[in-house]
Amino acid sequence: MAEPQQPDKAKLIIGILYLDEQLLARTLYSLVQHFGPIEINGPTIQFTFTNYYEEEIGKNLKKIFVAFAQSINRDVLPSIKKFTNDLEKKFSFDNKRRINIDPGYLTEHQVVLASAKEHPYRIYLSDGIYAQLILVYTKTGWVFVEKTFADYQNEEVLEFLLQVRKTL
C-alpha cells in the first residue's frame, strides 16, 4: 500500500481574456500584488476560437498568458479561483465582465485549470470550484486530452508552457 505524500509544488499560470489594455494592466497589477512577481510573460494571442465571450466582453478579444515566480501548493487552487472571480466582479460593469481570468497550475506532468462550472469532465475540489485537466506532458511533449481548449493547442501557448515547465 502506498502511503499518502504531499505532491510537489506547481507553477501558477493564468490566462487573461481582455479587450481593454488599461484594464489588463490593472488586472496584472492586482495579480502581482496578490501572487508575487511574474516569472514568464507568455504570448498574447488573438482569441478567435469561440464567440462565447463576445456578448459579455466584446469582439476582437485577446488572451495573454503569465506564469508566476512563486510555486504554489496544488490544494490552494480553489482559493486562487475565488480571488480571480472576485477580481472579475470588481472590474465588471452593468453586471457584465470586462475581463476573464483563468487560473491554473502546471506540474511536471500536466496543466490543470480551475472552474466554477460543473461538467462531467471536471473534478470537484472544494468551495464550488472544479479542476479540469487540459494537457498532459509525455516523452514526446504536450498531449491534448478530449477537452483541451483550443487556445491551449496554440503553438505559442504550448511553447510558453514548455518554458514554464523548465522552471520547475
| Per-residue pLDDT tens digits for 8-24 | 999 999 999 999 999 99
Mean pLDDT of 83-109: 97
Instruction: Count CA atoms within 13 Å of residue 34 on its CB side.
Output: 16
pLDDT score for 135: 98
Pairing of the two strands 99-106 and 129-138 = unpaired
* 3-state SS class at 115: strand
pTM: 0.96
Kindly state the helix (H) or strand (E) to which residue 1 belongs, with its residue range.
none
